[in-house]
Amino acid sequence: MKLYLKDGSIYEGDSFGADVAMSGEVVFNTGMTGYVETLTDPSYAGQILVCTSPLQGNYGVPDAKYFESSKIQVSGLVVSEYSERYSHHDAKQSLGDWLKKSGIPAITGIDTRAITKKLREHGVMLGTLSTTKPRAFSDPNDENLVAKVSPSKKKIYGNGKKKIIAIDCGMKENIVRSLTRPEVTLIRVPWDYDFSEDSYDALFISNGPGDPTMCGLTIASIQKAMAAKKPILGICLGNQLLALAAGAKTYKLKYGHRGQNQPCIAADSGRCYITSQNHGFAVDEKTLPNDWDVWFTNANDESNEGIRHKRMPWRSVQFHPEASPGPTDTAWIFDEFLKTI
């Protein structure tokens, strides 16, 4: 099997996933561990993932209760070295077997360092995992990926006094676990659900894949919650959607932030937090209205990592405080959100 890039580059290796051809946006992730959580993160829909950490598969795949969604979300996987033999007390199957059962192609024996350097220099690019050269490359960002990963029905967790509407744009399961408290009723709704007539106390906007400007219906719903002066918290795509609802703009990053070691500096304290991230778009903080402040900034490239309103309880972060995988240094953000309700 080979990885074909749109610039004409070809990388040949050995297949250890499904023997199918898949196209997508080729991106890299710098995480040392956590391939199970990463592969099941809906934010990766439409993407072929290149792992910079050379060894993958060595601890196998556990039970589905550890997944961040019900299935593998990536379009393909590219690694330097795949470990056929795995060892972990929670392991139920090998990474290769899981990929094959899921119909996802994967390739090993690739110089992932060379691909990463190419993507860092030229930016993310389209690619295809296949045994034959593709005739064309399809761009997943041309379609509404959120509509593909968002659920079709409402789901309710808990029976607490604090009712939170959670817009599921591709929400990770650890976000659900982080918000499910004895005092909370979490109402998980599709991306296009109109909750303007529902009874609720606060709004949560989840992570998700693709271009945030595709989610016009979600942005309109957020604006209704703002008009009702409800407390709001957004994560990842939720940061971008809240900014768009406020009147700001977003843009596509050159190669995005994907991994568990992104340093973010809090504007108020100057403290640096190490965060888990997975996103290809960012908020253009120069376009934020005057009543909004920057909350966090990426220490590597100074891109926006969070915004908050000067008076209202509206805030969001570009990183993942729920981790899975990665550090939990910013899990306190969930606690602060619940205090505003």
Strands, DSSP E only, in 131-182?
155-157, 162-167
Residue 217 makes CB contacts below 8 A (sequence gap 6+) with 191, 192
* Domain ranges (residues) in the chain: 2-142, 145-339
| pTM of the full structure | 0.97
257 catalytic residue (yes or no): no
The answer to whether residue 309 is catalytic is no
Q: Is residue 68 among the annotated active site residues?
A: no
Specify the CATH architecture of the domain 2-142: 3-Layer(bba) Sandwich (3.50)
What are the pLDDT tens digits along the chain (341 aa)?
999 999 999 999 999 999 999 999 999 999 999 999 999 999 999 999 999 999 999 999 999 999 999 999 999 999 999 999 999 999 999 999 999 999 999 999 999 999 999 999 999 999 999 999 998 898 998 999 999 999 999 999 999 999 999 999 999 999 999 999 999 999 999 999 999 999 999 999 999 999 999 999 999 999 999 999 999 999 999 999 999 999 999 999 999 999 999 999 999 999 999 999 999 999 999 999 999 999 999 999 999 999 999 999 999 999 999 999 999 999 999 999 999 99
Check 37, 236, 264, 305 and give the catalytic one. 236
Whether domain 145-339 has CATH 3.40.50.880: yes
| One-letter-per-residue 3-state SS of 56-85 | ECCCCECCHHHCCCCCCCCCEEECCEECCC
Cα–Cα distance, 131 to 328 (Å, whole number):
41
